[in-house]
Structure 1
Amino acid sequence: MASISMILILAQSLMAYSQESFANLAEKISPSVVNITTSTTVAGRTGPQGIVPEGSPFEDFFREFQDRNGNGQGNRPRRSSALGSGFVISEDGFIVTNNHVIEGADEIMIEFFEGFELPAEIVGTDPNTDIALLKVESETPLQFVNFGDSDTARVGDWVMAMGNPLGQGFSVSAGIVSARNRALSGTYDDYIQTDAAINRGNSGGPLFNMDGEVIGVNTAILSPNGGSIGIGFSMASNVVTSVVDQLQEFGETRRGWLGVRIQDVTDDVAEALGLASAKGALVSDVPEGPAMEAGMQAGDVIISFDGRDVDDTRGLVRQVGNTEVGKAVRVVVNREGATQTLLVTLGRREDAESAVPASQPGPDEDVSPESMDLMGLTLSPLSAEIREQLELPESARGLAVMDVDESSEAFEKGLRAGDVITEAGQAQVVMFSDLEDRIAEAKEAGRKSILLLVRRGGDPRFVALTIAEDE
């Protein structure tokens, strides 16, 4: 009976809390939320392209039709407007919104809850997180809101979204945190998923916790029809605050740069490397940069960065990006079964040149062009002729994949003709005997798979393939 009574009390408490009004909170923070209207000059049409073929007898007819519907504007540029939302973060007029709300805008007008309008200028933008910082000049201090700690938000917490949905003006919707740490498509994504109604026009608006703090910036929805179906995404405030601080200070972002190419450690890769678990970030290439200067090598597994454990590549990219440029950080790597600590002075990602694959020096002896079938692959040493066919530099060394058995594990894991295997078991391979020796060593160590470093068009990645008993 006691347990039933407790359940009834809990249920009654939840019902009472769910019926609590959001009115006081909405009244308190509404003055800090703004509607954003942008104007953009769009080039006029130059003709009826895509409607009738050029030279068609109907071409003149459609041109006249377009001119009539364009009020005689013809090819003249026209004005296009768009709507979005934002919020004030300081009394002197700094405003946060989404980059896609103001991107390409010629004019930006901010409408405040009290009914007045002010023009805004762009302070800085960050397309990577879809955040933009604007500034308005006001004769009186503006009401503003503070950021909260998004890391403390829990699944099931109440949240409230505010903005300008579908151009209907200031609007409030409520829901809960549905999920945390969602990734959509960006490198630095860290979205809060919510079922609070978010529609077109809400972009850039704030997602509040019950203390009236901004814990997210409403950015995207998942919808088959363009309307809210209860799956909305807000960029977490702890990502936004870092971006906003940099935009406010520098007018641009300044993210840390380690200078490596990395990939996740899968179960088969962990087995091939003899790792206890599939955690960390596997370094597939180290071009010139901070990591190379610190002695990092391809095949290293980064397990700790600046005192924090690394679970996967996504986590590492965010950790590095959020670390200040020029900071010397300790990076712990697993190299051939032993841990090493490297001291890396981070560069700036925005200044980094495109990564260039590390050169692979090796003997320049003339190798035999014969082929060998192994693990579902037809391999051949790199000859001058094959290098020319694959458009590889003369310095390239390795075994070229000439064909892949479509029923093999190698094909399933993405290997294709034209790939080049440059390492096996974290040692360079140039001839068939090199690969055979590495396979034999893996067998002697009791491993069921071998790790290959494969390059395609200069881009490296590690692939673990199962070793057959007869190989």
Structure 2
Amino acid sequence: MKKFASLLLVSVLGGVISIGAYKFFSESPEKVEQASLFEKTSYVPTNFINTPTKNKSSEAATAGIDFTYAAEKTVNAVVHVKNKITTVAPRSIWDLYNGTGRPQTQIGTGSGVIISPDGHIVTNNHVIKGSNEIQVTLNNNKSYEASLIGTDPSMDIALLKIEADEELPYISFGDSDNAKIGEWVLAVGNPFNLTSTVTAGIISAKGRDLDEGDNLRQSFIQTDAAVNPGNSGGALVNTNGELIGINTAITSQTGSYIGYAFAVPSNIAQKIVTDLLEFGDVQKGLLGIYPLKRNSKYAIENGLNEVDGVYVVDVDEKSGAGLAGIESGDIIKKLDDVEISKFSDLSGYLSSKRPGDVVNVTVLRNDDYKTFPVSLTKEKPVTVKLKDMQLKSLSASEAAKYGLEYGLLVTESSDDISDIGITPGYILLEVNGSKVQSAQALQAFIEKYGEDKIRTLTFRSTNGQYERFIYNR
């Protein structure tokens, strides 16, 4: 009996040991691993947990901003602009010999902004330049033929007009001077013929000059809102749905958006529009100073290349600046309440002014600040006399009318000149095969070489034909 009890105890102990061993070798590793993982995750710092989170600065930046309000308020006031350019070009040597040709048509597209309920539309000059026909399509797919009121090629602005049966949705002008760097904006337009496209971004910079001073009238708003071909002439609006710019240009090696876009400030566009409606041309107010061009030899040699402001090299004594007391060597720091750090700041502000307007100019002179009230003067048309003809530079409206970027208009011609066919209304395009860019350039050529050096003159006639006149020695 004792022997049987001993065997039973051994058997029970053996079973317990066997089950325990089985449990240890078959289950424990999994539980140990699970426990280990649990412990690891339980001690992981919460800022490393891989869960979606919102960036606090981004959340703060967008708090309270309603993009839908601005989009809904503006999208129906941005239109699709299509221009048709028809030219007659020779297709064969016989066409060239006979002066005939076949019509060729090119189609260009862009955007425009309705700025009044009666159908006035702002767009870019390059969108409609040289067009024979302009068509505007609204967001509701209604199309109208548009008439060209006028343009300002120097700021790439054009004004169109359509006649509709009802009042049209429009966008009110905002104050671009009050726009702040970092402020949210929307670009509304028709990129790649995709109508009613809205993109968002911020104002990246103001007073941008893309030509680094070569085109002194540029003063763009820079934004990182996506702008592509077809957006030209479209709206740049703030979150209140106010127009603060006309989208105009991008800088890209590919021709498509890469992060930078530029718009003409609304204050400049509005002033151009008002001038075209009131005067038929753009009224440009001149300060009367000759600024230092940065990176010029003089600026570098005299340590003036990094001047903060606009350094005055010379002053026209009869101009508003000269009469007010501004002198050579002054550094313009402010116009009214607008800070001036470079010439595009100055030219941009003056582009919103007219002749006769008084601007308070603050300058730095010998470590002292002085303020002068300057009455802006009117830009006078430049004329030149050539071979018994009086010629003048083309106005912005005349350049737009003829689709030209250069040339001089014949305003007077002697009987002898008229007898050979050159009459007032002809436009001189080339001298000796070179383009005539301005009256000043032609005058400089005449003074340097004399009229006797002129061999050929190329004109655009009053009926649009091109004629060349050859002068014998």
State the TM-score, normalized to the length of structure 2: 0.59
SS in 2 for 1:187: coil
Residue identity in the other structure for 2:226: A
SS in 1 for 2:355: coil
1:212 aligns with 2:241: yes
- How far did 1:351 drift? 3.5
Q: Distance in 2 between matches of 1:332 and 1:18?
A: 39
**What is residue 151 of structure 1 aligned with on the other side?**
177
**What is residue 164 of structure 1 aligned with on the other side?**
190
Q: Distance in 2 between matches of 1:328 and 1:195?
A: 35
**What is residue 59 of structure 2 aligned with on the other side?**
14
Q: Deviations over 1:169-221 (max 9, x none)?
A: 33222233333332213423332222322111110011222221222211111
**What is residue 348 of structure 1 aligned with on the other side?**
378
**What is residue 200 of structure 1 aligned with on the other side?**
229
1:37 aligns with 2:37: no
- How far did 1:344 drift? 4.4
Q: Distance in 1 between matches of 2:368 and 2:72?
A: 59
- How far did 1:320 drift? 3.6
- How far did 1:257 drift? 0.9
Q: How has the CA–CA distance of structure 1 residues 187 and 278 changed in structure 2, closer, same or farther, with 3 Å as cutoff? A: closer
Matched residue count: 330
Aligned pair partner of 1:255 in 272, 281, 284: 284
Aligned pair partner of 2:146 in 120, 126, 130: 120
8 Å CA contact retained: 2:157, 2:269: yes
Q: Distance in 1 between matches of 2:362 and 2:65?
A: 50
Structure 1, unmatched stretches of 5+, are 1-7, 49-59, 64-73, 355-389, 393-471
Q: Distance in 2 between matches of 1:301 and 1:155?
A: 25
Residue identity in the other structure for 1:318: G
8 Å CA contact retained: 2:332, 2:361: yes
1:325 aligns with 2:355: yes
SS in 1 for 2:145: strand
Q: Deviations over 1:149-172 (max 9, x none)?
A: 233433443322221211233322
Q: Distance in 1 between matches of 2:86 and 2:130?
A: 9
> Equivalences for 1:181-200 in 2 at 5 Å?
181-185=207-211, 186-200=215-229
Q: How has the CA–CA distance of structure 1 residues 299 and 108 changed in structure 2, closer, same or farther, with 3 Å as cutoff? A: same
- How far did 1:239 drift? 2.3
- How far did 1:265 drift? 8.5
1:314 aligns with 2:344: yes
Q: Deviations over 1:319-369 (max 9, x none)?
A: 444332123555565667777766644211254679xxxxxxxxxxxxxxx
1:221 aligns with 2:266: no
Q: Deviations over 1:59-92 (max 9, x none)?
A: x9xx9xxxxxxxxxx9212121110101111101
SS in 1 for 2:292: strand
Q: Distance in 1 between matches of 2:176 and 2:261?
A: 16
- How far did 1:233 drift? 1.5
Aligned pair partner of 1:142 in 148, 168, 180: 168
8 Å CA contact retained: 1:147, 1:241: yes
Q: How has the CA–CA distance of structure 1 residues 172 and 325 changed in structure 2, closer, same or farther, with 3 Å as cutoff? A: same
Structure number having the greater helix percentage? 2
Q: Distance in 2 between matches of 1:307 and 1:212?
A: 25
**What is residue 57 of structure 1 aligned with on the other side?**
none
1:235 aligns with 2:264: yes
Structure 2, unmatched stretches of 5+, are 1-52, 385-446, 450-473
Q: Distance in 2 between matches of 1:19 and 1:301?
A: 42
SS in 2 for 1:77: strand
Q: How has the CA–CA distance of structure 1 residues 183 and 41 changed in structure 2, closer, same or farther, with 3 Å as cutoff? A: same
Q: Distance in 1 between matches of 2:338 and 2:111?
A: 36
Aligned pair partner of 1:175 in 201, 213, 225: 201
8 Å CA contact retained: 2:205, 2:221: yes
1:283 aligns with 2:312: yes
Q: Distance in 1 between matches of 2:205 and 2:364?
A: 33
SS in 2 for 1:43: strand
Residue identity in the other structure for 1:105: S
Q: Deviations over 1:392-447 (max 9, x none)?
A: 9xxxxxxxxxxxxxxxxxxxxxxxxxxxxxxxxxxxxxxxxxxxxxxxxxxxxxxx
- How far did 1:130 drift? 0.9
**What is residue 81 of structure 1 aligned with on the other side?**
107
SS in 2 for 1:317: helix
Residue identity in the other structure for 2:88: A
8 Å CA contact retained: 1:89, 1:95: yes
Residue identity in the other structure for 1:183: D
Q: How has the CA–CA distance of structure 1 residues 147 and 341 changed in structure 2, closer, same or farther, with 3 Å as cutoff? A: closer
**What is residue 131 of structure 1 aligned with on the other side?**
157
State the TM-score, normalized to the length of structure 1: 0.59
- How far did 1:247 drift? 2.1
- How far did 1:44 drift? 1.4
Residue identity in the other structure for 1:315: D
**What is residue 463 of structure 1 aligned with on the other side?**
none
- How far did 1:260 drift? 2.6
> Equivalences for 1:17-28 in 2 at 5 Å?
17=62, 22-23=67-68, 25-28=70-73
**What is residue 456 of structure 2 aligned with on the other side?**
none
Q: How has the CA–CA distance of structure 1 residues 182 and 78 changed in structure 2, closer, same or farther, with 3 Å as cutoff? A: same
8 Å CA contact retained: 1:86, 1:95: yes
Q: How has the CA–CA distance of structure 1 residues 21 and 262 changed in structure 2, closer, same or farther, with 3 Å as cutoff? A: closer
Q: Distance in 2 between matches of 1:178 and 1:146?
A: 23
Q: Deviations over 1:222-257 (max 9, x none)?
A: 222122222221222222222222223222211211
Q: Distance in 1 between matches of 2:267 and 2:345?
A: 14
Q: How has the CA–CA distance of structure 1 residues 317 and 226 changed in structure 2, closer, same or farther, with 3 Å as cutoff? A: closer
